[in-house]
Amino acid sequence: MYLTDDPIDARALVTRVMRPTDGAYVLFEGVVRNHHEGKAVQSIFYDAYRPMAEKEIDAIVRDILSRFPDVALTVVHRLGHLVVGDSSIAIVTASPHRAEAFAACRMAIDRIKETVPIWKKERGPDGEEWVGWQGRC
């Protein structure tokens, strides 16, 4: 299960991933910020096509593990209402040496942002808007 409705406990994720053979881990957290394209943001609602998002994240995780056989990896993405400062996603990669952990973590977040069916609606003093919809198609 890669999706959660609860706050993310990044420390617990690191503990779950680390093996005695690992000499490094990389923890990436995506955090709700208070602005987007010049507009103030107070909170974000994250929506997902849950079963498909689970499958898409799993496919990405499996592909990255096949490219980086020495890496251990986990991902958690939070859904629902988040406020400024909350973590929306955490990715932990661990490996015997740091280079693979950095590379695998970077690849994981980049690919998750590209294809996983998760959406966010930003709310601020000017109203609310689904990110990416306006002006597309």
Partner 1 sequence: MQSMKIRQLFFAVLRDIAGTDARDLALGDGTTAGQVWQSLREQYAKLRDYAQPPMIAVNESYAAPDTILRDGDELAFIPPVAGG
**Which of 14, 109, 123, 124 contacts partner 1 by CB under 8 A?**
109
d(CA 121, CA 117): 14
Binding of residue 102 to partner 1 (CB under 8 A)? no
Write down the least CB distance from residue 15 to partner 1, Å. Answer: 23
> Nearest CA to 16 among 62, 72, 96?
72
- Is residue 47 classed as helix, strand or coil in its secondary structure? strand
- Contact segment (CB under 8 A) with partner 1 among 13-21, 65-73, 93-101, 127-135 equals 127-135
CB of 123 to partner 1, least distance (A): 13
Q: Determine the size of the site formed for partner 1 (CB under 8 A).
A: 29
Q: Does 95 sit near partner 1 (CB under 8 A)?
A: no
Q: Does 55 bind partner 1 (CB under 8 A)?
A: yes
Considering the rule CB under 8 A, would residue 7 count as an interface residue with partner 1? Answer: no
- The H-or-E segment that residue 112 falls in is helix 98-115
HSE at residue 7, side-chain half, CA atoms within 13 A, is 6
Ramachandran category for residue 70: left, alpha or beta (phi over 0 → left; psi -120 to 50 → alpha): alpha
Instruction: Fill in the DSSP letter of residue 19.
Output: -
Which residues lie near partner 1 (CB under 8 A)?
30, 46-49, 51-53, 55, 77, 88-89, 109, 112-121, 130-133, 136-137
